[in-house]
Structures are given as structure tokens and as C-alpha cells.
A = this chain, B = another copy of it.
Amino acid sequence: MNNYLSIKDIDSLPEWVAMARKLKEDPKADKELGQGKTICLLFFNNSLRTRLSTQKAAMNLGMEVIVMNFGNEGWALEYGDGTIMDQGTSEHVKEAAQVVSQYCDIIGIRAFAGLAYRDEDEDERVLQSFKEYASVPILNMESSVGHPLQALADAITLAEQNTKTRPKVVLSWAPHPKALPHAVANSFVEMMQLQQEMDFVITHPQGYELNEEITKGTKIEFDQEKALKDADFVYVKNWSNYNDYGKVTCKDPNWTMTQKKLGKAQFMHCLPVRRNMVVADEVLDGKQSLVIEQANNRTYAAQVVLKKILTTLNDQ
């Protein structure tokens, strides 16, 4: 594999999940694979899980890790073609991506949606620019459109926890005080579309539809109670309005996940999570919550991806 930009780069979800579960039993088994290789993780936004789990995964593979907060440690980047750079940006991504490629073997990029201009966000300007100009593989550590490392960790968690032949999985929108990106929800939906033996339904207030190009073919149910009926796994997540782009047009607390609504289902969330806003304490502190294990699986999701990239690099 040359890049991990989206869920579409997964050629076989069952195989990847199986590989992750095997790595989890012996995380340092491939310690030789990354010897002498360096990964450079560039953060244009804050991070806790992604920052630490990706470092951990790379170190498990024997790689050297360079972490850089591009925003305040580097230079403000320009992305436009033909721009006369007489304003705030100091360096063009054309140079930055080529240059960073020379100091490492893989580049990880985190750059959130700005939520101001939908077209710009959908272009995944930062991620795709690095992909275009870099000469080494690119790892998406959450772009404006997707968070495929999270969704892969979610797939691992589902596989570990599922006991049914055909479990029911619900993605349930929740209220939040701030405007959040759609990346986690998008990648979760795309990942669920690769699941052969699961029933999947999305529930959210009317008007909070995700990008139809992503959700097409997936069942959407506006009645949360109906959607949650007989659920085995409930993935809760806020996102801002996609149609009235980046706006918070609903904060209805009736959408907050409670133990009563959850029933016997297992609870999932990518974290960080706003307690008693997105989900009640009783759920997070209860035994049906999988959030800590999801976070744990971030390491093995990253490790599968890096292992596949390293294997390709070593074969060249």
C-alpha cells in the first residue's frame, strides 16, 4: 500500500482486522520491519489519541518518530496556485511537502475541516496537497473529510466484541455545544459499508444528513427510538450541519444517549466526548461502554497501516 488516505484504501477489511488482532497479541513482533525508517507526524490541529497511538505503533515497528506541530513550530502554508505570496503565508505546500519527504519515509498529516467553506473542506486541501507533492507515502491522521485510522480501530473493536451472526449497528447523532467536523462519521459510515454481516442504520435529526455521496445505500431513520430498537452496538457522535454547512442548528438534549435508550447495546464513541451532553455518565461509566478499548485499538489500527506501507516500501 502506498498511502492511507481513506477507508477506500482498505483492500480487505476482514484481513486487516485479523492482522490487527494478531499484532495486538504481540505488538513488537515486527520490530525489525521499521528499522532505519522514520515517520514524521505533522499536526495542524490538536490531538491526544492519534498523536500517542501513532507514535506507539511506529515505535512498536522499530521506526524513529519525529513529531511536529506545524501550526506553531513551522511556517504558515500557502495552497493556492499562482498566488503572489505577499500576505500571511510564508511557504508553499509544494516546497514543504517535497522537503519533508526528504527527511522521512512516511508522513502523517492531521488537518481538520475549517467548517467555513464546504468546497474547500471537501477538497481535503492539506492532505491532498501533501499527497500530490510528497515523494513518500502519506498517512491520514484525520482530514477534513475522513478519519480512517479511527474507523479501522472501530472495525477491530466491533470484531472483538461481536457475538452475533448479524449484529445491528446504529450511528446515532448527539448534541454538542460546538461545531464539529464530519470526518469521524463519514469514515465510520464508509467502514460499515464494507461490513458483510452487519445491519447498519444512521439516525439523526432531519436536516442533519451527512454527505449523500457517502451515505447512499445506507438506511437513515429520523426516529431515534426506532433506530435504536434491538441494537447491538450504538456509535454516538456529533457532527455539525452538513447542508447548512458547519452550523449548529440543533442542540436538542433529547438526542443525548442514556442508559435507557442504549438498552442492552454496547456503546461506542471515538473520544474526546462531552459527558452529559453527548452521552450520560451512567453509560460511559457502565460496563457496556467500549470507548477505552476503541482508543486502545487505535494503536493496532495504525500499526496495521504502517506495517502495510513499510512492507511495500521494503519491497521496492
Most buried by B among A82, A83, A103: A103
The range of chain A's interface size is 35 or more
- Near B by CB (< 8 A), chain A positions 50-97 give 51-53, 55-56, 59, 64, 66, 68-69, 72-75, 78, 82-87, 90-92, 94-96
Closest Cβ of chain B: how far from A210's Cβ, in Å?
22
Hey, which chain B residues are within 8 Å of A66, CB to CB? 52, 55-56
Contact across chains for B99 and A48 when beta carbons are under 8 A apart: yes
Copies in the complex: 3
Which of B51, B103, B273 touches A91 (beta carbons < 8 Å)? B273
Contact across chains for B52 and A92 when beta carbons are under 8 A apart: no
Point out residues on A near B: beta carbons under 8 Å.
28, 36, 38, 40, 43, 46-49, 51-53, 55-56, 59, 64, 66, 68-69, 72-75, 78, 82-87, 90-92, 94-96, 98-100, 102-104, 177, 271-277, 281, 284-285, 291-292, 295-296, 299
Hey, which chain B residues are within 8 Å of A43, CB to CB? 73
Contact across chains for B28 and A36 when beta carbons are under 8 A apart: yes
Asked, given contacts A49-B99, A75-B46, whether A275 binds B55 with beta carbons under 8 Å apart, the answer is no
A–B complex contacts, Cβ < 8 Å, 14 sampled: A28-B36, A48-B96, A48-B100, A53-B103, A56-B104, A72-B72, A85-B277, A86-B277, A90-B272, A90-B274, A91-B271, A92-B275, A94-B284, A95-B271
